[in-house]
Chains A and B, each alone.
Chain A
Amino acid sequence: MTVIHPNMADENAKIRARDVCVYYGDKKAIDDVSIDISPNYVTAFIGPSGCGKSTFLRCFNRMNDTIGAAKVTGLIELDGEDIHGSRMDVVQLRARVGMVFQKPNPFPKSIYENIAYGPKIHGLAEKKADLDVVVERSLTRAGLWDEVKDRLEDSGTALSGGQQQRLCIARAIAVDPEVILMDEPASALDPIATAKIEELIDDLSGRYAIVIVTHSMQQAARVSQRTAFFHLGKMVEYGPTSEIFTNPIEERTKDYITGRYG
């Protein structure tokens, strides 16, 4: 049973998932989850470790394809288009649905190349001048431009952890995605770097649909407008963040967010 608060269905949903199940071999990691992800909001997935929230997030750009034993059933649409359909190019899908991971993973190349690589292989920009524009715009949107504009040829891995994470966000933005998936994007960062990432998420929302998985409930409360609580592979409750954190309907949600779980 999933409790969904009123007005959560969205006709213009960016991502629409229906009856999604994910199996790792025999084990059912996600059990019959349906959700609408709105383009205009930051959506947070919360829940205890192993609840399936990351697994579910990874369905949205078919990252589970890379795991041999994983099987996904049910329907997932991006702008009404089945992402498992025969006409869907998975490389294209991952450009439209970008991803940022827990540990910053810049390419071992220059800062400039980290950003320019995606647009180049996707043919979004060919001339150096066009690429320069994309690099500056992406780094600016990621709040990193002022810090790195004089050292674009330095290696991306030479940056601090927080800067590397913003570099990865800039890299995701560079290919002009529609959705950005973030899996614990700030859990390896100190509070200041975390605050910068959260501020960035705030800036980017509205321009991109953002889905964030986080263990920090405070972070979910701070950055998201929609929150889904997962437990044992099921989506227990989905509603406006302000409601989930002040007046959740489900007992299990309440126990989890008030620190009574388990």
Chain B
Amino acid sequence: MAEHTVKAFDEDITRLRGLIAEMGGLAEVAIAESLDALVRGDEALADQVVARDKRMDALEIEVDKLAVRIIALRAPMADDLREVIAALKIAGVLERIGDYSKNIAKRTGMIEGRSRFEPLTLLPAMGELAGEMVHDVLTAYAARDPDLAREVIATDVKVDGFYNSIFRNLVSYMVENPSTISSAAQLLFVARNIERIGDHATNVAEMVHFAATGAYPPEGDR
């Protein structure tokens, strides 16, 4: 894309994109590490995930401030305007994804009898898929690539599939052995959180598509 006549405008936009990229990187790591901590019962790692979420919150505030400043001082138009608005919304969504990961990490100490739960082997795979969605959607954002954004949207059904199968699995544990109810309920929330992360990645993909093309993806995609 051609440069702006006013160089400082380009610098602002580059900085905004950098902040979003950093938030995306943190979100990816948080998803992977929170599940790693949960599965292995590693409370130290879980604490790290929780602590690092503060950085995420600070970044969101930074994006908000910068976006407002760009709108006020540079009066962006057309794709610049869409880009800034999308960044504003994407930052909010990434922060939310961070919260879900934090929430998963916090459940680490609440699971008993890890070896009994088959879903514990499924959750990391589900988390990996959701993490990939986050990774790909940020690649699409960086490259302003609407096609990749649509691929991300298409991936969400797989995450939903995981959720449904884990849900059934956990319910059957609870039915067969009521002593597992407490831990299984915790894992149910974890699965639910990952499912929500997939939904949020889908939302980001829609915004990336909008920023790049000026239109939301066709209804069939969503």
Which residues of A come within 8 Å of B, CB atoms? Answer: 217-218, 221, 245-248, 254-255, 257-262
- Band of interface residues on B: 10 to 19
B92 to chain A, nearest CB (A): 21
> Which residues of chain A come closer than 8 Å to B3, judged between CB atoms?
260
Identify which of B1, B9, B78, B214 contacts A257 (C-beta below 8 A).
Answer: B78
Pairwise interchain contact B214-A246, C-beta atoms closer than 8 A: yes
B14: interface (CB < 8 Å): no
Assuming the contacts A246-B78, A247-B78, asked whether A255 and B2 have C-beta atoms less than 8 A apart, the reply is: yes
Decide if B72 is an interface residue (CB 8 Å cutoff): no
Give B1-25 as 1s and 0s: 1 = Cβ < 8 Å from A's Cβ atoms: 1111110010000000000000000
Give every chain A residue within 8 A of B5 (Cβ-Cβ): 259-262
| Smallest CB separation, B83 vs chain A (Å) | 10
User: B112 in the interface, Cβ–Cβ < 8 Å?
Assistant: no
Contact B2 A260 (CB under 8 A): yes
Interface residues of B, Cβ cutoff 8 Å to A = 1-6, 9, 74-82, 214-215
Give A248 to B5 CA distance when docked, in angstroms: 19
Chain B residue with minimal CB distance to A257?
B77
The smallest beta-carbon distance between B91 and chain A, in angstroms, is 21
Inter-chain CA distance A137–B81, complex, in Å, is: 41
* CB pair A254 B79 closer than 8 Å: yes
Question: Given the complex of chains A and B, what is the CA–CA distance between A261 and B3 in angstroms?
Answer: 9
Which A residues lie within 8 Å of B2 (CB)?
255, 260
A142 to B82 CA separation, bound complex (whole angstroms): 36
CB-based nearest A residue for B80: A258
User: Hey, which chain A residues are within 8 Å of B76, CB to CB?
Assistant: 258
Which B residues are in CB contact (< 8 Å) with A258?
4, 76-80
Q: What is the CA–CA distance of A254 and B212 in the complex, to the nearest angstrom?
A: 13
Closest to B6 in A: A259
Quick one: given A259-B5, A260-B2, are A218 and B75 in contact (CB under 8 Å)? yes
Q: Are A248 and B4 in contact (CB under 8 A)?
A: no
Question: Which residues from A are CB-within-8-Å of B80?
Answer: 258
Is there an interface contact between A259 and B4, defined as CB atoms closer than 8 Å? yes
In angstroms, Cα B4 to Cα A56, docked, is 28
A235 to B24, CA, bound (A): 42
Contact B81 A260 (CB under 8 A): no
* Residues in chain A near residue B79, CB distance under 8 A: 247, 254, 258
